[in-house]
Amino acid sequence: MNAEQRFWVALNMTAGIGPVRMRQLLERFGTAQQAWQAPAGALAACGLEQRTVNELLAQREALDLDATCAAIDQSGVQVITWNDEKYPAHLKTVDDSPPLLYLRGELKAADNWSVAVVGTRKATTYGREVTRELCDALVRAGVTIVSGLARGIDEVAHSTALAAGGRTLAVLGSGLDKVYPLENRLLAQRIAAQGALISDYPPGTAPDARNFPPRNRIISGLALAVIVVEAGERSGALITAQFAADQGREVMAVPGSILSHSSRGTNRLIRDGARPVLSADDVLEELSLRQITEKQSAQLELPVDGVERTMLSHLSREPLHVDDLSLLATLPVAQVSSALAMLELKGFVRQVGGMQFVLARELPALYEAGR
């Protein structure tokens, strides 16, 4: 890791420094190094509570940063921060995205087309079979599968993606050196070789029940949609679905028997508005993922057409109807629709139903500056 990343690690290992306070520190001091080395008065002046200031000062005295960073480097774990180009584009759009990720494996451009598949740890035969069928078909269509490496639906989702020769990302609720559950250690090694293991918890962090709900925001944040295959009324998968809804992601669920405890959560999601999934085709259609190969090729070209630039200048994360775009751009609807179709192929915009469009990822600085 580089010199600045070392201080991101130091702040990440300090209790009380999360996304909100990290932004405060960066806005006030400019770099993680300056924030880490700032005097107590300056830390308090930037808005940190005294308790957090005390935690940072104590960590500064206790942490052997050289040894800690050397151990991370020697373990083969990468460090990715908000400032790094490798930081996942979809996750970066989330309000409480983690300032720092620890990564074992590799993130690729193909992972922009990711779908999270999650569910109960106590999966039934039905749930396992549905997960295999869905994930196999999605992977063969070029979709990356994201899940949480837990027992049950998660491990089936990862294993199926690997067996189909595809990519899969696993988000841990512990340090990358503390894989949980222990029986999934071999699976974790295979994922790192054919995808990536991801965590925002420092190496050495043991699995703890309190860690898993927050990590679910990363699972949903990495993906275009969350599919809940099987979940009881109190399943952690429902937390992931709620994060997805809050983040503006698509929430989908596989219907099950009304007599099955394992399907009560998924059936309730559908009742409350989640898209029912009867096959992988439903997912591919809803997310416009049928031409991923063409999208990957098109994304090699940045939008240079003047109409495309105009569309990007008016779009945001809030849905906008094609008719409204036509009025804003003072262009014919047919011309606007054509430009949107090309931008969708390039991965810059996404249709969210009813001829409404949103930005699908962050714009390069060249286009952001012109907004």
> How far is the C-alpha of 301 from the C-alpha of 304, rounded, in Å?
8
- Where are the extended beta strands (E) located within 27-129? 78-81, 100-105, 114-118
Q: Is the pLDDT of residue 369 over 70?
A: no
- Predicted confidence at residue 170, as pLDDT, reads 98
Q: Once rounded to an integer, what is the mean pLDDT over residues 181-202?
A: 95
> How far is the C-alpha of 318 from the C-alpha of 338, rounded, in Å?
20
Full-prediction pTM beyond 0.85? no
- Predicted confidence at residue 85, as pLDDT, reads 85
Helices 333-345 and 306-314 sit at what angle, rounded to 10 degrees? Answer: 90
Q: Once rounded to an integer, what is the mean pLDDT over residues 41-46?
A: 91
> How far is the C-alpha of 274 from the C-alpha of 267, rounded, in Å?
9
Q: Is the pLDDT of residue 298 over 60?
A: no
The mean pLDDT of the chain is: 89
Q: Is the pLDDT of residue 365 over 60?
A: no
- Predicted confidence at residue 362, as pLDDT, reads 60
- Predicted confidence at residue 255, as pLDDT, reads 96
DSSP code per residue over 172-202? -SS-TTS-SSGGGHHHHHHHHHHEEEEESSP
In order of start, what are the domains of the chain with their CATH numbers? 1-73 (1.10.150), 105-286 (3.40.50.450), 292-368 (1.10.10.10)
Q: At a CB cut-off of 8 Å and minimum separation 6, what does 112 contact?
A: 89, 90, 299, 347, 361
The two structure tokens encoding residue 46: 């930037």
Residue 360 DSSP label: -
- Predicted confidence at residue 342, as pLDDT, reads 81
- Predicted confidence at residue 92, as pLDDT, reads 87
Q: Is the pLDDT of residue 278 over 90?
A: yes
The two structure tokens encoding residue 161: 């993606």
Q: In what order do the strands lie in the sheet with 275-276?
A: 78-81, 100-105, 195-199, 168-171, 144-147, 114-118, 225-228, 250-253, 275-276
- Predicted confidence at residue 299, as pLDDT, reads 53
> How far is the C-alpha of 276 from the C-alpha of 362, rounded, in Å?
29
- Predicted confidence at residue 319, as pLDDT, reads 84
Q: At a CB cut-off of 8 Å and minimum separation 6, what does 320 contact?
A: 314, 356, 357, 358
Lowest-pLDDT range of 248-262, 275-289, 355-369: 355-369
Q: Once rounded to an integer, what is the mean pLDDT over residues 51-59?
A: 93
